[in-house]
Amino acid sequence: MAEFDLVVRGGTVGTAYDLFEADIGIVDGKIDAIGRNLARGKEEVDAKGKLVLPGGIDSHCHIEEMSPGGGVQEESFASGSAAALAGGTTSFICFLQQWKGHTLTESAPGYAERARQSRADYSFHQIITDPMPEVLEKEVPALIAKGVRSLKVFLTYDPLQLTDAQYLEVLATARRHGAMVTVHCENFDAISWRIEKLLAAGLTDPLQHAWARPPLVEREATHRAIALAELVDQPIQVFHVSCEEAAGEVARAKARGLKVWGETCPQYLTLSHEDLDQPDFGGAKAVCSPALREKGESERVWARIKDGTLDIVTSDHCGFSFATAKRNPGSSGYGQGGAVQRADGMPAFNAIPNGMPGIETRLPVLFSEGVSKGRISINAFVRITSANAARLFGLQGRKGTIAPGADADLVVWDPQMERKVEVARMHQAIDYTPWEGLDVKGWPVVTIRRGEIAVRDNEVIAAPGSGSFLPRGPYDVIKPTGTVPDGFDAASVT
């Protein structure tokens, strides 16, 4: 009788810190043995000449979100998870919504049931837009107890933005119950003021989305988010850092020993204002927040990956098709300021829904631009795409590594494969990719999720519903440092 259900044979295995040749034996969805000349499995994957890396964890993506008006994002759990797996991501963390004026229970009814259609493993961050007592005192603690151990807050966007006072209350709640807080850092009032002036000056193109929110509005909010987290002694992760000005704030916080981590996304490493300044309203495809920066800024963001300031690269997948939602916005929630129609019938920049698709391209684009072009090592690639997300979000030991006992989430990469990014060959529901036509070197050829072959040669085999919810228990990273101003721990007073 075969000893293993599946053996991945003869590959070069890469983890956060090691690179070695080995076979990997899998039993019941878990890694059972790593060694040379393992016994035959019931099934075998030949990985000779290939890399075998941990399945990617995309700890920031928006899937099938529901708006209070009844709209649902086009990217469903079935399509988004197919896209994730095809791109080498075996687990993701998306968002439970809260609609302002509603409790968590009332918001986006049935969302967790929709998520059961996922083909990849998944967890949630809970968005807090309205921190009323019922939410902070009852619902959040109950949710954390069920394993949703991270909250997301926005310091901008009309229907989502929190005041500083509300942000402090969310931080204090997370401190008391043991959860990570993730923060979208941009200054709401500064952006609203600039939007108003740009529209009054008749400047309405997609490029002006970036003019409305220059790096300093991100830098200011990043500084404030960190300072207020320090006041409460609550660990935070700064989401989607787009520029050196904001990354510098994260670096200074780390140097001072604060529990602050930074995330960026492939768009900030590869795209620029040029992508916003395209004919035929094409710049709308590149409207996301924080906005894309001027050419050259990406290299400064790469430098902050290399020096360890930025810990994780996620997709921030938030898809709106170009043929529909990008040109005919409904109420996506991800926008700011009143709607203005232009003479050509297109929406002014501020009404274009913010976000771009990326869950399928995150890893190939990053591998090619990072590893193949020599900017980062294979180990650094594993850290920023998988291992660090597991560590920061309470999945360590189970995900993000290749070790006995861990879930057998493995991706076989052909590091020499050259391919063009083409939406026609992709699995996402969104009708475009911002990386259309990009030549990449290095592609995931087999994706294994908990011991099952989920994708082979771009064909998705995993069925909808085969993914599992990942509850997350208490873990060290979210413990406070124990240092508060004047020794007075305000968060402990209720």
Binding site for ligand URP (CB under 6 A): 62, 184, 240, 288-289, 316, 318, 334, 354-355
> What tokens appear for 98 in the block?
């809260």
Is the CB of 51 or the CB of 318 nearer to ligand URP? 318
CB of 209 to ligand URP, least distance (A): 10
The entry of Zn ion, ligand URP, none near residue 213 (CB within 5 to 8 angstroms by kind) is: none
Among positions 223-252, residues that touch Zn ion (CB under 5 A) are none
CA distance 401 to 404: 9
Choose the one of Zn ion, ligand URP, none that binds residue 334, judging by a C-beta under 5 to 8 angstroms depending on kind.
ligand URP
62 or 399: CB nearest ligand URP: 62
Question: CA angle 192-193-194, nearest 5°?
Answer: 95
Distance from C-alpha of 203 to C-alpha of 210, rounded to nearest angstrom: 12
Beta-strand runs (E) in 81-219: 89-96, 121-127, 150-154, 180-184
Note whether 149 binds Zn ion by CB under 5 A: no
Task: Report the candidate in 334, 338, 331, 330 with the shortest Cα–Cα distance to residue 318.
Answer: 334
In whole angstroms, the minimum distance from the beta carbon of 329 to ligand URP comes to 13
Q: How far is the CB of 474 from ligand URP (least distance, A)?
A: 26
Q: Name which of 108 and 446 has its Cβ closer to ligand URP.
A: 108
311 vs 316, beta carbon nearer Zn ion:
316
Which residue lies nearer to ligand URP by CB, 6 or 351? 351
**Nearest Cα residue to 478 out of 385, 387, 392:** 392
**Least Cβ distance, residue 104 to ligand URP (angstroms):** 19
Minimum CB distance to Zn ion, residue 281 (Å): 23
At its nearest, how many Å lie between Zn ion and the CB of residue 314? 8
Q: Smallest distance, Å, CB 354 to ligand URP?
A: 3
Stretch that binds Zn ion, among 178-186, 205-213, 323-331, 361-369 (CB under 5 A): 178-186
Question: Residue 321 binds which entry of ligand URP, Zn ion, none, with Cβ cut-offs from 5 to 8 Å by kind?
Answer: none
Residue 323 Cβ, how far from Zn ion at the closest point, in Å? 22
Q: Indicate the residue among 334 and 381 with the shorter CB distance to Zn ion.
A: 334
Residues 438, 361: Cα–Cα separation, whole Å? 11
Residue 354 interacts with which of ligand URP, Zn ion, none, CB < 5 to 8 Å by class: ligand URP
Residue 388 interacting partner from Zn ion, ligand URP, none (CB closer than 5 to 8 Å by kind): none
Nearer to ligand URP, 175 or 240 (CB): 240
309 or 315: CB nearest Zn ion: 315
By CB under 5 A, tell whether 316 contacts Zn ion: yes
Written as one letter, the residue type at 246 is: A
- Contacted entry of ligand URP, Zn ion, none for residue 288, CB cut-off 5 to 8 Å set by kind: ligand URP
Q: CB of 363: closest distance to ligand URP in angstroms?
A: 19
For the chain, count helices (H), then strands (E). 15, 17
Show Cβ contacts of residue 219 under 8 Å, excluding neighbours closer than 6 positions.
Answer: 243, 245, 246, 248, 249
Q: Minimum Å distance from CB 394 to ligand URP? A: 21
* Region from 71-79, 243-251, 308-316, 448-456 binding Zn ion, contact rule CB under 5 A: 308-316
SS3 227: helix
Measured CA to CA, the distance from residue 26 to residue 29 in angstroms comes to 6
Residues 6+ positions from 50 with CB-CB distance below 8 Å:
11, 12, 412, 413, 414, 415, 445
Q: Is 64 in the site for Zn ion (CB under 5 A)?
A: no
* Alpha helices by DSSP H, 350-445: 362-366, 378-382, 388-392
How far, in Å, CA of 113 to CA of 299, rounded? Answer: 41
Q: Which one of 119, 125, 149, 184 is in contact with Zn ion (CB under 5 A)?
A: 184
How would you list the strands of the sheet with 180-184, edge to edge? 56-58, 89-96, 121-127, 150-154, 180-184, 236-238, 260-264, 310-313
What secondary structure does DSSP assign to 269-297, as a single string?
HH--HHHHS-TTTGGGGG--SSPP--TTH
Interface region with Zn ion, contact rule CB under 5 A, candidates 176-184, 215-223, 258-266, 464-472: 176-184
Yes or no: say if 417 and 441 are a contact pair by the CB < 8 Å rule.
yes
Mutual angle of helices 215-232 and 244-255, in 10-degree steps: 20
Footprint of Zn ion on this chain (CB under 5 A)?
184, 316
